[in-house]
Amino acid sequence: MTDSMVVDPNWWPHRYDPARGHVHFIRASRDDHREAVFLTDEYLKDAANPRATGLGVAAQAGDSAPLHFIFHSAYCCSTLLARAFDLPGVSMGLKEPQILNDLSGWRMRGAKPQELASVMSGVLSVLARPFADGEAVVVKPSNLVNGLAGLMLYVKPDSNAVFLYAPLRDFLGSIARKGMFGRLWVRELMVKQMREGLIDLGFQGEDYLQLTDLQAAAVGWLAQHAMFAQIVQKFGPSRIRTLDSTKLMGAPGEMMAALLRHFGLSMADDELEALVDGPVFRQHSKNDQAFDADARDAARREGERLYADEIDKVHAWAEAVAKNAGVPLALHAPLI
């Protein structure tokens, strides 16, 4: 069973057990991937029935498809973009695989850097099993895994990436609209970034306790931008491009064509047109309800109307923090 499992894309590498060096596989067809909002326990129906095998055995059967990445700063249409790469015969988009979250957690618990790099290489090789002959694999990790983005690019030198982000004001509005859930989430993100040493904005430890929720959101956004800027500088624009989500939604055909080129992929003009005019860009990526670019813009405007004063004050504060810390609000190496 093990040999057939590691080469069959319908067996999904769901979790990693660092204590035993095992990959836990579960059954997950392409349709299961499409239906799952994220590739986590909550959304994968067979998550409670894993079968384990050694990472070395699993990795030897992988690494046969081109592998590329969509890194992101959250609430920026990243799930939509990953869904857009579900293109039979061209590529498959993976939405926040739990196994990468496991490696991030292992790092937080003290994994040795060299061992983590070796395991990351093996795990990415397993993720690079094609879903069909000739297809590439496009992985969208959770933004909670962004601290490992540089490592992923290092261990997979043939992989390219796009860094997708929402403009700061849009991000703040999105968090405000989500109420208590969004405000708790940004504080959890900020705490994790602090533990990983990803925040260097000129504050002392206790200063962060005095921030409002939207200030905490801005800190998390700025920390990710600072890291993205460093990675772009390190790996260069031939491998890394950046994309503002408003530009993605404003010109999806042009941006998708550019992304396909960046990832070394191609599709016919009529197929690309059908993709852009189809449900991926006209439905909410989390619940499949009608939600096109106009609806997104209306939601943004409504959020700004309700929380305009708070957003204005925090945005101005964040601009000053960014200037002082040398963090660009618009990233270099734009896709177009």
Identify the pLDDT of residue 1.
47
Identify the pLDDT of residue 287.
62
68: enclosing H helix or E strand = strand 67-72
- Whether 141 is in a domain gets the answer yes
Identify the pLDDT of residue 298.
77
Identify the pLDDT of residue 301.
74
Q: Mean pLDDT across the stretch 302-308?
A: 79
159 within 8 A of 99, measured Cβ to Cβ: no
Q: Is the pLDDT of residue 286 over 80?
A: no
Identify the pLDDT of residue 290.
64
Identify the pLDDT of residue 165.
97
Identify the pLDDT of residue 71.
98
User: Tokens standing for 165?
Assistant: 């982000």
pLDDT in tens, 15-48: 999 999 999 999 999 999 999 999 999 999 999 9
Q: Mean pLDDT across the stretch 235-242?
A: 97
Give the 3-state secondary structure of residue 104: helix
Based on the structure, what is the number of domains in the chain?
A: 1
- Whether 290 is in a domain gets the answer yes
- Whether 89 is in a domain gets the answer yes
Which residues form the domain of 214? 2-325
Q: Is the pLDDT of residue 317 over 70?
A: yes
Bridge partners of residue 26, in order along the sequence: 12
User: Nearest-CA neighbor of 201 among 333, 321, 100, 300?
Assistant: 321
Q: Is the pLDDT of residue 63 over 80?
A: no
- Whether 315 is in a domain gets the answer yes
pLDDT in tens, 200-213: 999 988 898 899 99
pLDDT in tens, 153-186: 999 999 999 999 999 999 999 999 988 999 999 9
User: Nearest-CA neighbor of 256 among 55, 265, 289?
Assistant: 265
- The CATH number given to whatever domain includes residue 280 is 3.40.50
pLDDT in tens, 255-276: 999 999 999 999 999 999 999 9
The shares of helix, strand and coil residues in the chain, as percent rounded to the nearest 5, are 55, 15, 30
- Whether 333 is in a domain gets the answer no
Identify the pLDDT of residue 80.
95
- Cα 163 from Cα 170, distance rounded (Å): 16
Q: Mean pLDDT across the stretch 212-234?
A: 97
Identify the pLDDT of residue 285.
65
Q: Is the pLDDT of residue 278 over 60?
A: yes
Identify the pLDDT of residue 297.
74
Q: Mean pLDDT across the stretch 285-289?
A: 66
303 within 8 A of 176, measured Cβ to Cβ: yes
Q: How confident is the model at residue 125 (pLDDT cuts 50, 70, 90)?
A: very high
> What sign results for the dihedral spanned by CA atoms 166, 170, 173, 178?
negative
| Percentage of the chain exceeding pLDDT 90 | 83
Angle 299-70-326 from CA coordinates, rounded to 5°? 80
Write down the mean pLDDT value for the chain. 93
- Whether 336 is in a domain gets the answer no
Identify the pLDDT of residue 249.
93
Identify the pLDDT of residue 291.
66
- Whether 334 is in a domain gets the answer no
- Whether 319 is in a domain gets the answer yes
User: Nearest-CA neighbor of 164 among 101, 221, 86, 234?
Assistant: 221
